[in-house]
């Protein structure tokens, strides 16, 4: 059971907007930065969003992150077939004194 | 260009030991928190351990505390993970990951390609 809760799956059609939620608590998301990663099968995770809503260089502006209280979300607009992947949220947990990940969301582009 | 190259993975018997290394290049290694994150076959990401730039602070997941030891050699730009008393549930791809920012926010940014550790008799 992951400390951060993500829906196991999400889907959308090309061009659509999709959001993936990440629910935590006052000891993790509320007090610390949230990061989002995308992982294609057989490859290493890639950073999509850092510090709640910052896009690293090279990440398209179709990807955006937000945080409110103990929850965070990743939004993808203009969905493309290549966005089909697993998405993970992560943050630091002050009580556990460790980094925690969500269980991952498998995004399907229909 | 940032590069992280993990090595040392392989097959080991339960109760055995293994030492993973991660050789870094393309950035000032000593100024970044470094992390180990693992992924069991078909499962999600699990944080294992983090170490600050000067090794002043070290953190471990409860699942590996007392069995794994993280260390770094800033003169050689190398991150290590000594794994002892290995269990079947430690079987995973182990990723070395560099923090995105310098300072205390150690959130992983760039990840290596990973090295597979298989614990089995």
Taking contacts as CB-CB distances below 8 angstroms, the residues of chain B near A45 are: 37, 45, 95, 108, 111
Q: What is the pLDDT of residue B7?
A: 97
Question: pLDDT digit string (tens) for B56-106?
Answer: 999 999 999 999 999 999 999 999 999 999 999 999 999 999 999 998 888
- Which residue of B41, B47, B48, B92 to mutate against A (max A Cβ within 10 Å)? B47
- How many Å apart are CA B19 and CA B8, to the nearest integer? 6
Q: What is the pLDDT of residue A8?
A: 97
Question: pLDDT digit string (tens) for B23-58?
Answer: 999 999 999 999 999 999 999 999 999 999 999 999
More confident residue, B104 or A108: A108
The 3-state secondary structure of chain B, one letter per residue: CCEEEEECCEEECCCCCEEEEEEEECCCHHHCCEEEEEECCCCCEEEEEEECCCCCCEEECCCCCCCEEEEEECCCCEEEEEECCCCHHHCEEEEEEEECCCCCCCCEEEECCCEEEEECC
Candidate from A47, A98, A101 with C-beta closest to B109: A47
Name the percent of chain A lying above pLDDT 90: 98
Taking contacts as CB-CB distances below 8 angstroms, the residues of chain B near A33 are: 105, 107
Q: How confident is the model at residue A1 (pLDDT cuts 50, 70, 90)?
A: confident
Q: Decide if A47 and B108 are in contact by the 8 Å CB cutoff.
A: yes
Q: How confident is the model at residue B115 (pLDDT cuts 50, 70, 90)?
A: very high
Question: pLDDT digit string (tens) for A39-90?
Answer: 999 999 999 999 999 999 999 999 999 999 999 999 999 999 999 999 999 9
């Amino acid at each position: 059971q992951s400390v951060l809760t993500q829906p196991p799956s999400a889907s959308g059609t090309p061009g659509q907007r999709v959001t993936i939620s990440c629910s935590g608590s006052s000891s993790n998301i509320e007090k610390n930065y949230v990061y989002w990663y995308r992982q294609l099968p057989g490859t290493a995770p890639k950073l999509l969003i850092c510090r709640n809503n910052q896009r690293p260089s090279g990440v398209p502006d179709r990807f955006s992150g937000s945080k409110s209280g103990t929850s965070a979300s990743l939004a993808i607009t203009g969905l493309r077939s290549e966005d089909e992947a697993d998405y993970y949220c992560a943050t630091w947990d002050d009580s556990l004194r460790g980094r925690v990940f969500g269980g991952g969301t498998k995004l399907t582009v229909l | 260009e940032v590069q992280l190259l993990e090595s040392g993975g392989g097959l080991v018997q339960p109760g055995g030991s293994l030492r993973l290394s991660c050789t870094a290049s393309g950035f000032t290694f000593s100024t970044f928190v470094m992390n180990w994150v693992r992924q069991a076959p078909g499962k999600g990401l699990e944080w294992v351990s983090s170490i600050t730039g000067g090794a002043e602070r070290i953190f471990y997941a409860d699942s590996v505390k007392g069995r794994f030891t993280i260390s770094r050699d800033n003169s050689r730009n190398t991150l290590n993970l000594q794994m002892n008393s290995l269990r079947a549930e430690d079987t995973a791809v182990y990723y070395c990951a560099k923090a995105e920012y310098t300072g205390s926010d150690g959130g992983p940014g760039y990840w290596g390609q990973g090295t597979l550790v298989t614990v089995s008799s």
